[in-house]
Chain A
Amino acid sequence: GAVVSQHPSWVICKSGTSVKIECRSLDFQATTMFWYRQFPKQSLMLMATSNEGSKATYEQGVEKDKFLINHASLTLSTLTVTSAHPEDSSFYICSASDRGKTDTQYFGPGTRLTVL
């Protein structure tokens, strides 16, 4: 139980294009989903918190117009990197908390984004 998937697992795009990453909770309803960014050999950096049906809450320093987050249902959240640039290349990870067991976050396998 408590499986979270992410799609795609890796993506390469050209500078200036937009990329959408999906995060799905497969066997539970997610009250809240989180988006993280991880640089090589570093810890996870929280980008934003999204609750189903409401606007995401972004961490300080994260551009909300660049990183668009939509949490349209209790099992799906999407992160869209708009007008991507090489500095946006990173490993993006989502997590979800189980609506029935809200004290634990379960993580997706991550998406490696490379912007050329």
Chain B
Amino acid sequence: AQTVTQSQPEMSVQEAETVTLSCTYDTSESDYYLFWYKQPPSRQMILVIRQEAYKQQNATENRFSVNFQKAAKSFSLKISDSQLGDAAMYFCALGGGSEKLVFGKGMKLTVNP
């Protein structure tokens, strides 16, 4: 069975600073995808970043980047220059496409002005 673990239920960061959200996973698949989704108070799930497991290069999307450690089954999200609009629930997910997603429990990020 595939599992995703987000061990930190809540974190806070000062505006303009950097924060790292952790995620570990377990799968027996050799080819898979990893995602970070953001859910602000509106509850709309927004794709933040995706990583293909067969790619060694870490994905980057503007202020968001990941540290993908395949051997360790770790997939952390770094948010640089944090903004007030980054405040949300963040979900790490494994799978993708026509295959179902397995979500972590989520982590609430607070951004302090």
Q: Which of A32, A93, A107, A109 counts the most B-chain CB atoms under 10 A from its CB? A: A107
- Contacts A102-B97, A103-B96, A105-B101; is A43 near B91 (CB within 8 Å)? yes
> Assuming the A-B contacts A97-B97, A102-B97, A102-B98, are A43 and B44 also in contact, with contact meaning beta carbons closer than 8 angstroms in the complex?
no
At the interface, yes or no: A75 with Cβ under 8 Å from chain B? no
Question: Is A78 interfacial (CB 8 A cutoff)?
Answer: no
Q: A109-B42, A109-B43, A109-B44 are in contact. Are A46 and B100 (CB under 8 A)?
A: yes
A99 to chain B, nearest CB (A): 9
**Given known contacts A104-B47, A106-B47, A107-B44, A43 and B104 CB-to-CB distance under 8 angstroms:** yes
Residue of B nearest to A59 (CB): B100
- B30-47 interface with A by 8 A CB criterion: 33, 35, 37, 42-47
Kindly state whether residue B86 has any CB partner on chain A within 8 Å. Answer: no
Q: A46 to B102, alpha carbons, bound, how many Å?
A: 8
Chain A positions 62 through 105: 1 when the CB is less than 8 Å from some CB of chain B, otherwise 0: 00000000000000000000000000000101010100001111
Q: Among A32, A43, A51, A106, which residue has its beta carbon within 8 angstroms of that of B105?
A: A43
A-facing residues in B85-109 (Cβ within 8 Å)? 91, 96-98, 100-101, 103-106
Binding site for A on B (CB under 8 A): 33, 35, 37, 42-47, 50, 52, 91, 96-98, 100-101, 103-106
